[in-house]
A and B are shown apart, each in its own frame.
Chain A
């Protein structure tokens, strides 16, 4: 591979970015304008705490000799007004969802809760024979309302579980941990949207790559380039390098625009460097999808329509749009979702870069990037350039 050839094509692509008004608008100006408009519209509203509290519960007492007590606890919690309960099979998944901002609080029912309740009722007045247990409670302190309201609610549910309707005020064998508060700096609507803006903007690369290659095909430029000693690996390397650079430029522009209008992420330079890394890798997905689209596009207009069809699921199912039900399930196959999740964890939750979940996100996006590019290279090589 000759680096000089790759750099020559990268230079050409970057010149296009600065000289072609359409490309400049779609890849740089539009994301900046969108960021500014959304930031002014949804930011600075102040805290907008949820009306309903979403609480996750991991029941580690399900296989004990007295599982009905834990079931009763969950049932009482579910029936409590203003509470939406989601059950988790393990502690780690629930903790990760709390960090991602999907929950207001997370409760861990310890193994032995049922035994505690049974021991209490076998000798209600003899605390010495009780089997003690402690329920774990983790609360997102980004919402002052949630961090204040949830611990008393959970205490009430414990009492209701133990005594039923005839609640009594007496010593019991079950304790609630002091709520462990997960720090969040701000909860304006805009803060939830910013992490998705980065992936949302990068997705437009699919449109530009598809358009550029289709135009080069239809105007004979690609044929002309093909008759030079340029190899296909050099061509793909130039394409991915160019658009990786564009993605990083976009990220910096969006960040600066957001910062100017008051956005302050809960991460430092290392977190931002990680964000640039995952966005850079995500650009591979966009380039690959652009290649696939260009393979089947006959004209620039056709490529625009087709590339938007390819890009839209990524835009709407993996960025800042609130999802639920089937859409949420479908989003799990969108690489953009993992980019947004990682950036949410870093920017919104202030998680350290050592957090396992963001490295899993990076790994998934990397694999997706390479797979999509390889598919793109294959289909474009097979059907994109017609030598027959």
Chain B
């Protein structure tokens, strides 16, 4: 049996994700500023920060959508610029904007992305049923997506990103604007992915979400990484109650002010 890219890189001790001095400039504005970090296999890593901090830009670079201005990034040892087509085979992207085809049903949207990721025909249908059940969309999956609420769209969007069982999932604010029940179902789903040793990069500006789900977090502000570590360690380090206060201590401003 052929060994997969991810297995090979794990065997060689290559980290799941590596960012080496990544910068992204839009004119004079630095969206990401010399960001360097490594994320291990099976880790749930949270990228935290206010809107405009550079989280989505970082995810866009990792998902091969954007070219970095300088620095390099890799997934499973594959360069996201030079080996973009190989990287696309092992990642699943849930974008911040829940992109879907409104004239298709939820199931048809998921099915389409399964086919684009070459999920075998005999596996696809069963996998859709399984994921839909886990995320609580059984009653609505056969309705046109144009009729979905914001929360439903986000849940379908998350399944679209994970239908091919990717080794590395990039989830960009997957629970934003979700009601508490929907958010909890997505959290449970992400926790289950952890048990399957999937590597997940999760961007959020909900600090409680990061505390609940992430093994480590990186706090970024104005494109720079200002703190890195497990949530509990960071909270203990600053002697505060939660990650939001860590941000306040570190930057001297509240998250909402930063937004």
Name A's B-contacting residues (CB within 8 A).
2, 4-5, 8-9, 11-12, 15-16, 19-20, 219-221, 223-231, 387-388
Contact = CB atoms under 8 A, between A and B. Distances in A.
A220 B117 contact: no
A27 to B, nearest CB: 14
Interface string B88-109: 1101010101011101100010
Given A4-B118, A15-B104, A219-B97, 17 more contacts: A5-B118, A8-B112, A8-B115, A8-B116, A11-B112, A12-B108, A15-B103, A15-B108, A16-B103, A19-B103, A219-B99, A220-B97, A224-B113, A227-B65, A228-B117, A229-B88, A230-B116
B66 interface: yes
Contacts of A16: 101, 103
Contacts of B113: 224, 228
Contact of A228 (B95, B103, B116): B116
Contacts of A4: 115, 118
Contacts of A5: 115-116, 118
A227 B101 contact: no
Interface of B: 63-67, 85, 88-89, 91, 93, 95, 97, 99-101, 103-104, 108, 111-113, 115-118, 144, 160
B103 A20 contact: yes
Contacts of A231: 85
A387 B67 contact: yes
29 contacts: A5-B115, A5-B116, A8-B111, A8-B115, A9-B116, A11-B112, A12-B104, A12-B112, A15-B104, A15-B108, A16-B103, A19-B144, A20-B103, A220-B95, A220-B97, A223-B65, A224-B113, A224-B160, A225-B116, A226-B65, A227-B91, A227-B93, A228-B88, A228-B116, A229-B85, A229-B118, A231-B85, A388-B66, A388-B67
Q: B64, B65, B144: which has the most chain A beta carbons within 10 Å?
A: B65
B101 A12 contact: yes
A384 to B, nearest CB: 13
Contacts of A227: 63-65, 88, 91, 93
Task: Please list the 8 inter-chain residue pairs (A to B) with the smallest Cβ-Cβ separation, ordered nearest first.
Answer: A8-B115, A220-B99, A228-B116, A220-B97, A19-B103, A221-B99, A224-B99, A227-B93
Nearest to B69: A388
Contacts of B115: 4-5, 8
Contacts of B108: 12, 15
A220 B153 CA distance: 14
A2 B108 CA distance: 19
B241 to A, nearest CB: 36
A387 B65 contact: yes
Contacts of A19: 103, 144
B80 to A, nearest CB: 11
A223 B67 contact: no
A208 to B, nearest CB: 13
Nearest to B61: A387
Contacts of A229: 85, 88-89, 116-118
A221 B100 contact: yes
A16 B104 CA distance: 8
Nearest to B60: A223
B178 to A, nearest CB: 18
Contacts of A9: 112, 116
Contacts of A221: 99-101
A223 B112 contact: no
B123 to A, nearest CB: 13
A5 B114 CA distance: 9
Nearest to A5: B116
Contacts of B95: 220, 223-224
B8 to A, nearest CB: 18
